[in-house]
Amino acid sequence: MSTKTGFKRIALTLVVALGFGMMSTAPSSANLLTNTETLTIDAATDTALVAETATAVITSEWGTTQSATNTDSNVIRAVCSAPSGASCPTVNFWLSPSSETSNISVDVHSTGKMISTAFQETATSTTGGTAKAVVNVKAENFSKAGTYVYTFYTTSYDLTSGPSGRVSTKSVTWTITVSDRDVTATAVNTYVVDASMSSALTTLERYRTSFLSPRESSVTAVRGTATTPVAVAFAAFTVKNAAGDTVVAGALDAANSANANGTATPVQDTLTVTVSGPGLVSVPTYSTTVGKSATLNAYNRSTLRVLGSGETLVVWSDGTAGTSTISISKGSSVLDTFTVTFTGAPASASVLSVTDTVTAMSATAKTDYFRFKVYDSGANELTTGNTVYVYASDTKIVTSGALSTSASQYTQSAAGVRPNISSHACTYDATIEMFGCDLTINDTGVATLYVRDSWTVTGSTWVSSGIDVTGIGNSAKSWSISFDKTSYNVGDQAIITITGKDAADRAVSNSATLGGITTSYLLGNSGNTMKGTAGIISATSTTFTGYVLGGVESGIETRVVTMPSTSGTFTISFPYTAVFSTVPTTASASVKVVNPTDALVSAAQAAAEAATDAANEAIDAANAATDAANLS
């Protein structure tokens, strides 16, 4: 190492043990250093697992009594004792930037096996400088369990012969207790997904390769048939040792409770899966057949391959209904279980509803949507893969979408003769998560809807409770008109009510039309304005707009008008022909309209006429008296 005029250098040289050999004992201290020195370690004891790394931090502080033109230095050395049959791992030293390191500069030797650090100060500095270095130490890849003891000590550094000078009295020991890794599988995380869900296998792989908490979804599936098994669920597993270690850290997602014990401890085992109850299992890599048991590989690493290495379990239906318990075992020890429910045949229906319980006719038939939930005998809700049938008590009203419960109606087929049931069958609607089907309402009346498990009444084993649906017609059997008063003054506000009845004497729908409306007097100042349930329209509009409450049409329309300014009898009317009739008729109503001024004038005239009559009678009486006097 070179020196420069005007500087004093104190060098701390760190020697990698590999470069100088690992000594089993410390050298003799016959030629000890006399300079001031301290040597400490951050922790005297450490623990590690086989194949792991242990680290420590050594702090070296020392001084020199050399003059400014001379050089002084230190070398950190290590010796180690290992368990029988093992050797000590190579010790690596390095100096990292630290706020505690002082008066040190680094000069790396060209051999790459020695790191030199040097203290520098100006020539005017006093003799006796100090240096401090914080040195990192690492022992890598312990090959065997046991106790490893490292002893670190220092020597001087000679410019001619290298690090072979005097030995210091300072030393520290570092004891590392190495244990075997726990690779015994004692527990398992189970991940189960419904095979029908979107991206089921992708979701399953994310669960297990991220080491999330168990996802034992409740899977409910159709029992299927014995001749054609159907995959209903996928399952995967990660095995764990007693500490729950994984080879790599899991997804650090607190919301998913991921396992983050990335200790590099590999745990793997072969698990046995058995089925108790309905259903079958298989592991595709090992077998193309299904059965009541299967074996698969399980690991705690993240490099798993879905359906590619015997790591994924498939659960199949076998035509039997019931709840299956699937056990995951290692030898005779059951590590976990999960269940799959295979639903039976439809056995009941409930929560019946329709879009409109009262459906109004228009120029064409109206569609109503019938929906309900279906259950098997175990009260399990059924979904896809099941079919039930809709019945109506009157298929003259429900003309499409339902079978008839009455043999006298035209959609009912003779027993044993299969009708075209495609329009009467009802299946699961995943959008609303209920069974649902369209019904066509094409006539006035009330029909009760039911659900059965067969396309004939006699073949059904159960029937649901009923729900009524009412159709109201768009053709009137009768129209009536009424006023809110028995008489009005001229210019009064009046409410005219128009009521329509369909063929069954129910409210007529708003699709009905009125004949040409006529009035005996013009209404209002302009003669043609009014308002009511339809808003402001012409008083003689033929559009019928009945009041609607809760979606139900009432068949009643009100028109608010201003009565004419001329007194007299006011009449409003329109012609119509009743449904099922060919004879025209007229709906009409009349009411008196009076002018209060006309009544006063009439009263005055009557009083004047009475006074005149009285005067005339008095004159007549006087004349009669005069005539009588003259005769006598």
pLDDT in tens, 405-444: 765 554 444 444 445 556 678 889 989 999 998 888 878 8
Q: What does 149-181 look like in DSSP terms, one character per residue?
A: EEEEEEEE-BTTTBS-SPEEEEEEEEEEEEE--
> 581, 575 in Cβ contact below 8 A?
no
Give residue 167's pLDDT.
Answer: 64
Structure tokens at 449: 């809807």
The conformational region for residue 550 under phi > 0 = left, psi -120 to 50 = alpha, else beta, is left
Residue 213 and residue 189 in contact, taking contact as beta carbons nearer than 8 Å: yes
Instruction: Please list, in sequence order, all residues whose beta carbon lies within 8 angstroms of the beta carbon of residue 408, skipping any fewer than 6 positions away.
Output: none
Least confident piece of the model among 15-19, 161-165, 301-305, 430-434:
15-19
| Residue 581 binned pLDDT confidence (cut-offs 50, 70, 90) | confident
Compute the average pLDDT of residues 335-356.
91
CB 318 within 8 A of CB 332: no
| Mean pLDDT, residues 192-221 | 78
The answer to whether residue 620 scores a pLDDT higher than 50 is yes
Decide if pLDDT at 251 tops 90. Answer: no
Buried b or exposed e, range 420-456, using 16+ CB within 10 angstroms = eeebbebebeeeeebbbbebbbbbbbebbbbbbbbbb
User: Residue 324: pLDDT above 90?
Assistant: yes
Q: Residue 211: what pLDDT?
A: 63
CA distance 78 to 535: 102
Predicted confidence at residue 107, as pLDDT, reads: 43
The predicted pLDDT at position 20 comes to 35
Q: What is the mean pLDDT of the chain?
A: 75
Give residue 364's pLDDT.
Answer: 60
- pLDDT-above-70 percentage for the chain: 70
> Could you give phi then psi for residue 627, rounded to 5 degrees?
-60, -35
Contact by Cβ (8 Å): 527, 491? no
The per-residue pLDDT for 267 is 78
126, pLDDT greater than 70: no
- Which residues are registered as beta bridge partners of 230? none
Asked whether residue 341 carries a pLDDT value surpassing 90, the answer given is yes
Structural tokens at position 547:
């009041």
CB atoms within 10 A of CB 88: 21
Does residue 162 come out as left (phi exceeding 0), alpha (psi in the -120 to 50 range) or beta? left
pLDDT of 587 over the 80 cut: yes
Q: In the prediction, which pLDDT does 219 show?
A: 87
Token pair listed for 512: 């009905």
| DSSP H or E run through 559 | strand 556-562
What band does 246 get if pLDDT is binned at 50, 70 and 90?
Answer: low
Half-sphere exposure of 104 (CA within 13 A, CB side): 28
Sequence-ordered strand ranges (E) for 310-465: 312-316, 322-330, 333-343, 348-354, 358-360, 366-375, 388-392, 398-400, 403-404, 425-429, 434-441, 445-452
Q: Count CA atoms within 13 Å of residue 368 on its CB side.
A: 31
Name the phi and psi angles at 75, rounded to 5: -130, 130
Per-residue confidence band for 280, with pLDDT thresholds at 50, 70 and 90: very high
Q: How far apart are CA 456 and CA 391, in angstroms?
A: 9
Average pLDDT, integer, range 202-223? 76
Q: How far, CA to CA in Å, does 295 sit from each of 277, 330, 349?
A: 18, 10, 41
Mean pLDDT value across residues 557-579: 87
pLDDT at residue 256 above 50?
no
Question: What pLDDT is attached to residue 535?
Answer: 62
Angle at 114 (CA atoms; ends 113, 120), nearest 5 degrees: 155
End-to-end CA distance of the chain: 187
* pLDDT for 35: 54
pLDDT in tens, 107-122: 433 222 333 333 333 3
- Tell me if residue 555 falls in helix, strand or coil: coil
For a pLDDT cut of 90, what percent of the chain falls above it? 23
List the one residue out of 324, 329, 337, 318 whose CA is nearest residue 295: 329
pLDDT at 372: 95
Residue 386 structure tokens: 């099941």
414 versus 75: the higher-pLDDT residue is 75
CA distances from 417 to 387, 404, 414, 421, 451 (A): 19, 14, 6, 11, 20
Per residue, the 3-state secondary structure of 385-399, as one string, reads: CCCEEEEECCCCCEE
Tens digit of pLDDT for each residue in 442-457? Answer: 788 888 999 999 888 8
Region 534-539: what's the mean pLDDT?
63
**Residue 289 three-state SS:** coil
Q: What is the pLDDT of residue 64?
A: 60
Greatest mean pLDDT among 239-243, 406-410, 551-555 = 239-243
pLDDT category of residue 144 using cuts at 50, 70 and 90: very high
Phi-psi region of 224 (alpha: psi -120 to 50; beta: other; left: phi over 0): left
**pLDDT tens digits for 460-508?**
899 999 999 888 777 788 899 999 999 999 888 888 899 988 877 787 8
Q: How confident is the model at residue 288 (pLDDT cuts 50, 70, 90)?
A: low
Return the half-sphere exposure (C-beta side, CA atoms, 13 A cut-off) of residue 327: 12
Predicted confidence (pLDDT) at residue 538 exceeds the cutoff of 70: no
- Give the contacts of 162 (CB within 8 A, at least 6 positions apart): none
Of the CA atoms within 13 Å of residue 561, those in its CB half-sphere come to 31
In our burial notation (b when 16+ CB lie closer than 10 A, e otherwise), range 218-246 reads ebbbbbbeeeebbbbbbbbbbbbbeebbb
Across 109-138, average pLDDT: 50
Region of poorest pLDDT, from 21-35, 171-185, 433-447? 21-35
How many C-beta atoms lie closer than 10 Å to residue 524's C-beta?
A: 16
Which of 67-81, 117-131, 133-147, 611-625 shows the lowest mean pLDDT across its residues?
117-131
Looking at residue 9, its pLDDT comes to 38
Dump the DSSP string for 254-276: GGGT----B-----EEEEEEEEE
